Amino acid sequence: MTRTIRSSVALGAAVLLTFGGLSTFATATATASPATHHLVESPAQAALAQAVAPSECAGTLLDTYVDQLFAGMTDEQFAFLVAHQDTLLNVPTYDALFFGSPNDPDYALESHAQQITNTFRDLRRFWNIESADIQLMAMHGDVLLDAARIEKTLTAMVATGELDPMTPEQIQAEAATVADFMQTQGDFYDNPLWTLNAFAFSADGETDPFIAALPDKLIMGDGIIDAYDAIGLGDVGIRVIMAHEFGHHVQYELGVFDTGPTDPAEATRRTELMADAMAAYYGTHKKGLALNKKRVADALLSFYTVGDCQFDSPGHHGTPLQRQRAADWGADLAAAAKPQSSILPPATFVELFDQALPEIISGS
């Protein structure tokens, strides 16, 4: 197989938490996501892996978890995944993004539902932005059992350029093949890999009429929730990741994506490190989650995988050390609040972060 994994190709304004190359994000550029090293090796990836310092890209608990997911597949399942990766790794995401709504049971939060709902409400209170229009919902793998839903999603992905062109007949055949297979494979449809993500979406600046009409969303995948549970960070991790994603909504609301560096990789690094700092600020603040600084940083840092060592990628989130420094900076800012209950206005937070960014990047 020489084909690379292409999971979430960049959506205009979608910001997804990068996860081992299984998902990507971008602000304005259309770029295929990096291939994951887990499934299919590509020459470019191998070259890249050698070009980065091992200490900066060491595996995490989540790497191990993802490896176990692959190891748990039968040979037949694994081969099917490789052959139908565009559908398996994208359709649950785009189905929720394009067609999900908070009142539809197909997108209802299940695992940790109460905690997620409460944290969302709390984040809206903490960051004083216009947030009533943000829709919170889940994405589930069971869409892969339903040929009609797969077909609808693939059709919309092709129409919006998120997937390479396919004819209606090809789409119909692919949808039927995937749904038929999933129906014979027990709970394979629910494998965390299909929904291993959490992301914030805003249609701000989108030109495609279909995408531009989509509401703001914060979507939590079952897979990311399962992953955090599995590595023992379910409680803290889920809330901290939500805080990171909500941070992107704060950025959308304040127009942060319209400012900053013009280089796409540098621009992404800034907004991702800022979202980490926002998550750490909220996570440790007395009026936020009031969690221990190290636990919050651990939860954020557990997202590092080799997939995010692609430093030149527009989807790059910053090195682990940079993210650690961003988290530390946010936590220290919360600790320095006087009085302890005072919360900075979001615009002030962004201003202070931008002043601190050179040091967060360089470490000195």
Query: What minimum distance in Å lies between the beta carbon of 317 and Zn ion?
Result: 6
Residue number, 17 or 22, with CB nearest to Zn ion: 17
Residue number, 81 or 278, with CB nearest to Zn ion: 278
CA distances from 347 to 183, 222, 249, 254 (A): 49, 32, 13, 7
Query: What minimum distance in Å lies between the beta carbon of 151 and Zn ion?
Result: 30
Query: What minimum distance in Å lies between the beta carbon of 281 and Zn ion?
Result: 15
Query: What minimum distance in Å lies between the beta carbon of 184 and Zn ion?
Result: 36
Residue number, 27 or 85, with CB nearest to Zn ion: 27
Query: What minimum distance in Å lies between the beta carbon of 99 and Zn ion?
Result: 23
Residue number, 222 or 245, with CB nearest to Zn ion: 245
Query: What minimum distance in Å lies between the beta carbon of 16 and Zn ion?
Result: 7
Residue number, 150 or 242, with CB nearest to Zn ion: 242
Peptide bond into 339 cis (omega under 30): yes
Residue number, 175 or 278, with CB nearest to Zn ion: 278
Query: What minimum distance in Å lies between the beta carbon of 305 and Zn ion?
Result: 14
Query: What minimum distance in Å lies between the beta carbon of 172 and Zn ion?
Result: 35
Query: What minimum distance in Å lies between the beta carbon of 244 and Zn ion?
Result: 6
Q: Interior CA angle at 84 toward 83 and 86, to 5°? A: 125
Residue number, 17 or 39, with CB nearest to Zn ion: 17
Q: By the criterion CB under 5 A, which residues form the site for Zn ion? A: 17, 272, 275
Residue number, 171 or 241, with CB nearest to Zn ion: 241
Residue number, 107 or 246, with CB nearest to Zn ion: 246
CA distances from 97 to 102, 136, 220, 221, 293 (A): 11, 11, 11, 11, 32
3-state secondary structure the chain: CCCCCCCCCCCCCCEECCCCCCCCCCCCCCCCCCCCCCCCCCHHHHHHHHHCCHHHCCCCHHHHHHHHHHHCCCHHHHHHHHHCHHHHHHHHHHHHHHHCCCCCHHHCCCCCHHHHHHHHHHHHHHCCCCCCCCEEEEECHHHHHCHHHHHHHHHHHHHCCCCCCCCHHHHHHHHHHHHHHHHCCHHHHHCHHHHCCEEEECCCCCCCHHHHCCCCEEEEEHHHHHHHHHCCCHHHHHHHHHHHHHHHHHHHHHCHHHCCCCCHHHHHHHHHHHHHHHHHHHHHCCCCCCCCHHHHHHHHHCCCCHHHHCCCCCCCCCCHHHHHHHHHHHHHHHHCCCCCCCCCCHHHHHHHHHHHHHHHHHCC
